[in-house]
Amino acid sequence: MIKRLITVSVVLAFTINVIAQLIKPIVVNVDQPKAEIQPTMWGIFFEDINFAADGGIYAELVKNRSFEFYQPLMGWEQHAQHPASGSLLIVNRSEVDEPNPRFARVTIDGKLGTYYLSNEGFRGMGIRKDMQYRFSVNACQGSRSHVQLRVELVDSTGKTLGSAVIAPDGDVWKNYVVSFRATDTHSKASLNLWFEGIGTIDIDMVSLFPENTWKNRPNGLRSDLVQLLTDLKPGFLRFPGGCIVEGRELNTRYQWKKTIGSIEDRQMTVNRWNTEFVHRLTPDYFQTFGLGFYEYFQLAEDIGAEPLPILNCGMACQFNTAEVVALDKLDPYVQDALDLIEFANGPTDSKWGKIRTEMGHSAPFQLKFLGIGNEQWGPQYFERYVIFEKAIKAKYPDIILVSGTGPSPDGDLFNFASEELKRLHAQLVDEHYYRKPGWFLDNADRYDGYDRNSYKIFAGEYAAHSELNANPENKNNWESALSEAAFMTGLERNADVVYMCSYAPLFAHAKGWQWTPDLIWFDNLQSYGTPNYYVQKLFSNNKGTHVLNMLQEGKPLTGQNGLFASAAWDKNAKEIILKVVNVTNKPRFQSIVLETAKKLSAEATLTILKSERLDEVNTFKDPEHIKPDVQKVTMKGKKAELSVAPYSFSVLKIRQK
């Protein structure tokens, strides 16, 4: 038996050797870098879809905190011991407070029994043991009323997880804040507001935040989710979408001016994803804009990313109403764009720069890019785009404008848009690819023959869909991630024309999503990166500064023998970075020759992301089932002999001496 095994392994070794000799080496031309890789090459696409903002990264735990949802008590429930012990009225004061018209007026008589309101949060509230929670409310007492509020967090059995008391004094609106510690961890907690005493009390902006938000900011963001973004080392942050920019109708489009200033002045609106898909209805999905444009700029700054806001161009979503603003009525939309640039970059004494300063940021946000329209198509887009372009370039010639080719990466609409944008000498053009994994493999050479005199590419939304577009069965499985990695080698190889790339969408709440696949999944307490996340991270964290030629028999690797590859050089770290994707179920023995006059370190770092099966995924129970594994490998002089694992994405880093 042992003899047979030895014979088998000798034959195997011999075969491997013969195969290795038959397969032509890959040659990397190290000393002649081809083109610069833009610092913005790999970035983030953020949209409030799947509870990404409200119920997600925006750490507010109370749903419908200001009673402005279409149904004012959505998320709330009244509990009265006796019908007469308490009641609630929704009062509308829109004539004096347009952005925040409603508040709740509670009348109680403690002698007749108890009365409380409970809030269910976003599919429950995620509460952690020993963490401090900050409750706040705007309140005022009715005349001759004596009502105090007892705030209580409870788990799903009703057990108290923490409580505090607030005693509002007087009939003028004031903000009250109290902080308390949670005694246990629970993922589906709710908040009770007990009204104690006699009389009436008005309440509004009922809010609960964990104190450990990102950078401990009040009204802040969920730390674990921001950390996952930070770890990507993104070159840019695109916000706020996506179709959310467009709105189902113009009336519900994203209007950045309504998302800044004090949070009670931010006029809430419906989230267009709430009833978009009948298979995933989310009628309780609204936008409070607690995460508004100021916070987006701040987030971009925190994570070292260039801000890339996308603005409505006078068109509502063409998959929905497709409303447009008449061309002679476009001025307010164009003015919004000009004012946004001033808000981001203007001096502190300018109208909008002053507002930025008052919000806490006197230094400019250094905005360089601005997107006009999201997924628009047809002549109506270009008629509007040119009006924006003319006005913006006249005042801010250095702002780089992003335009788009619509929802598909090919077909008549795409071709028309592409021709129009060439004619208009567009700068940076957003292309979207939501396709099956096979498309990504077939299109790894998409930009190899691209017209170098044309516009630059922003691969602004892409994801391999294991089933069909917008199908709820799409999975973030290894097949999708691997095919994206193969495609991304093509993006990197063409970094002379591809300037920005972002996977989409970014986030999904496990119980509140509408669209799958998504880069990061979370629930009320946990979060994890998908295999697709790790692919993005490996590209972004190993970006390099220049593209290198990496050829086999004079051709880029776009699937020969199942391999896809690209190479970069990092002039600062003095590193050669090779990325190799094997989409087959067999190892690939491959020698890689580094053509260079410089000496190389004998030891290199090999990071491998792989899975034996294409249908494997990461989960809450096994969040790092597929994650990068780092090894040291020895170079043979200026040659690397790699056994590229089946179904793998490898990054080999070699230091120059």
Active-site annotation, residues = 375
Dist CA 266 CA 213 (whole Å): 21
Dist CA 121 CA 527 (whole Å): 18
Q: Is 204 in the site for ligand AHR (CB under 6 A)?
A: no
Residue with the CB atom nearest ligand AHR in the bound state: 242
Stretch that binds ligand AHR, among 69-77, 146-154, 235-243, 559-567 (CB under 6 A): 235-243
Q: Is 515 in the site for ligand AHR (CB under 6 A)?
A: yes
Give residues 485-504 in contact with ligand AHR (rule: CB under 6 A): 504
Q: Answer whether 30's CB lies under 8 Å from 595's CB.
A: yes
Q: How far apart are CB 307 and ligand AHR at their closest, in Å?
A: 18
376 vs 650 by CB, closer to ligand AHR: 376
Stretch that binds ligand AHR, among 236-244, 416-424, 480-488, 646-654 (CB under 6 A): 236-244
Q: How far apart are CB 599 and ligand AHR at their closest, in Å?
A: 47
Chain centre distance of CA 610:
24
Stretch that binds ligand AHR, among 18-26, 128-136, 152-160, 240-248 (CB under 6 A): 240-248
One character per residue 357-396, x = contact with ligand AHR (rule: CB under 6 A)? -----------------xx---------------------
One character per residue 37-56, x = contact with ligand AHR (rule: CB under 6 A)? ----------x-x-------
What is the CB neighbour count within 10 angstroms for residue 36? 14
3-state SS class at 296: helix
CA angle at residue 5 from 4 to 8, to 5 degrees?
A: 85
Selected from 86, 235, 241, 292, the binder of ligand AHR by CB under 6 A is: 241
Stretch that binds ligand AHR, among 21-29, 237-245, 391-399, 528-536 (CB under 6 A): 237-245
Q: Answer whether 566's CB lies under 8 Å from 1's CB.
A: no
Give residues 601-640 in contact with ligand AHR (rule: CB under 6 A): none
What is each CA distance from 538 to 12, 232, 308, 422, 507, in whole angstroms? 33, 8, 22, 33, 18
Dist CA 371 CA 367 (whole Å): 11
Dist CA 478 CA 140 (whole Å): 55
Q: How far apart are CB 275 and ligand AHR at their closest, in Å?
A: 15
116 vs 236 by CB, closer to ligand AHR: 236
Q: Answer whether 288's CB lies under 8 Å from 266's CB.
A: yes
List CB contacts of 259: < 8 A, sequence separation 6 or more.
Answer: 266, 289, 292, 293, 294
CA atoms within 13 A on the CB side of 615: 2
Selected from 243, 308, 535, 577, the binder of ligand AHR by CB under 6 A is: 243
Kind of pairing, strands 546-552 and 563-570? Answer: antiparallel
Q: How far apart are CB 627 and ligand AHR at their closest, in Å?
A: 25
Q: How far apart are CB 505 and ligand AHR at their closest, in Å?
A: 4
Give the total of residues touching ligand AHR (CB under 6 A): 12
Q: How far apart are CB 220 and ligand AHR at their closest, in Å?
A: 25
Stretch that binds ligand AHR, among 238-246, 351-359, 485-493, 624-632 (CB under 6 A): 238-246
392 vs 504 by CB, closer to ligand AHR: 504
Q: How far apart are CB 318 and ligand AHR at their closest, in Å?
A: 10
Q: What is the dihedral of CA 313, 314, 316, 317, to 10 degrees?
A: -30
One character per residue 1-40, x = contact with ligand AHR (rule: CB under 6 A)? ----------------------------------------
Give residues 392-451 in contact with ligand AHR (rule: CB under 6 A): 407
CA angle at residue 52 from 49 to 58, to 5 degrees?
A: 140
Q: How far apart are CB 319 and ligand AHR at their closest, in Å?
A: 8
Dist CA 317 CA 312 (whole Å): 10
Q: Which residue has the tokens 């009225």?
A: 89
Dist CA 114 CA 40 (whole Å): 58
Dist CA 384 CA 395 (whole Å): 18
One character per residue 160-179, x = contact with ligand AHR (rule: CB under 6 A)? --------------------
Q: How far apart are CB 56 and ligand AHR at their closest, in Å?
A: 15
Stretch that binds ligand AHR, among 67-75, 241-249, 261-269, 347-355 (CB under 6 A): 241-249
Tell me the residue ranges of DSSP E strands in 184-337: 186-210, 236-239, 269-270, 286-287, 306-311
33 vs 242 by CB, closer to ligand AHR: 242
Q: How far apart are CB 435 and ligand AHR at their closest, in Å?
A: 12
List CB contacts of 501: < 8 A, sequence separation 6 or more.
Answer: 41, 42, 43, 458, 459, 460, 462, 488, 491
47 vs 204 by CB, closer to ligand AHR: 47
Q: Is 505 in the site for ligand AHR (CB under 6 A)?
A: yes
Chain centre distance of CA 530:
13
Residues 411-437: b if buried by 16+ CB within 10 A, e if exposed: eebbebbbebbeeeebbbbbbbbbbbb
Stretch that binds ligand AHR, among 146-154, 163-171, 185-193, 239-247 (CB under 6 A): 239-247
Q: What are phi and psi of 493, to 5 degrees?
A: -60, -30
103 vs 503 by CB, closer to ligand AHR: 503
Binding site for ligand AHR (CB under 6 A): 47, 49, 241-243, 374-375, 407, 461, 504-505, 515
